[in-house]
Amino acid sequence: MTKEKKIGIYAGSFDPFTFGHLNIIERASKLFDEVIVLVAINTSKKTLFTPEERLDLVRMSVSHIENIRLDVLEDGLVAHYYQEVGASALIRGLRNATDFDYEFSIASANALQGDTIETVILYAADEYRFMSSSLIKEIAYFDGDVSRMVPKHIDGKMKEKYNN
Ligand code: ADP
């Protein structure tokens, strides 16, 4: 019997990609045969980086991990993408109680799209619990130090965007 390849999908806005996201991907890559990092176009969020820029910035950040595939979800639901690629689980990161309510509703809504849609939650490591893309953007906007929160190339790109 050939073993079915277990694919996990880690979807997010990644605006920008942070060390917190990277930690989740590194851990998920040990649990799944392949992890697809899916840059989602969230219609309700105005983003600092375009989808293509976000994809490039993620690519540069995960080159040390072998079993990773990158994609952009141009339109449509993550749940449909999941079914198309035959994934085994959606991967999400959980930092705190505020995340919990949001993540719980997303997981429930996704489960209603198909009864095989499973969500696996990885708890944020202590050192990344406070990191969020929005907080990082606010700090970078005011020319603060985000070097311990994002990879170097992303720090540079944020400085360019904000003309710092
Ligand atoms: P979305 O807009 O879909 O919430 P994000 O890019 O903000 O996308 O986050 C993608 C996923 O990563 C979410 O499950 C989020 O909770 C999780 N995440 C974000 N920051 C961290 C962090 N510092 N540590 C662990 N998980 C995180």
152 C-alpha to center of ligand 1: Å? 19
- Reply yes or no on whether the pLDDT at 45 is more than 80: no
Query: The whole model's pTM is what?
Result: 0.95
The pairs formed by 125-134 with CB atoms below 8 angstroms and a separation of 24 or more are 125/23, 128/18, 128/19, 128/20, 128/23, 128/95, 129/20, 129/95, 129/96, 130/95, 131/18, 131/19, 131/20, 131/95, 132/18, 132/20, 132/95, 133/13, 133/14, 133/15, 133/16, 133/17, 133/18
Per-residue pLDDT of 65-98, as tens digits, reads 999 999 999 889 999 999 999 999 999 999 999 9
93 C-alpha to center of ligand 1: Å? 6
Q: What is the pLDDT of residue 147?
A: 96
Per-residue pLDDT of 102-143, as tens digits, reads 999 999 999 999 878 999 999 999 999 999 999 999 999 999
* Catalytic residue set: 21, 45, 95, 133
> Average of pLDDT values for 20-49?
93
Assigned token pair, 164: 């710092």
Q: What is the pLDDT of residue 115?
A: 75
Q: How many CB atoms neighbour CB 78 within 10 A?
A: 18
**Residues lining ligand 1, CB < 6 A?**
12-14, 18, 20-21, 24, 42, 92-93, 95, 99, 124, 128, 131-133
Q: Point out the ligand 1 atom lying closest to the alpha carbon of residue 123.
A: 25
1 C-alpha to center of ligand 1: Å? 36
Mutate to test the pocket of ligand 1, among 13, 21, 39, 90 (most ligand atoms within 8 A of CB): 21
Q: How many CB atoms neighbour CB 111 within 10 A?
A: 15
Q: What is the pLDDT of residue 74?
A: 87
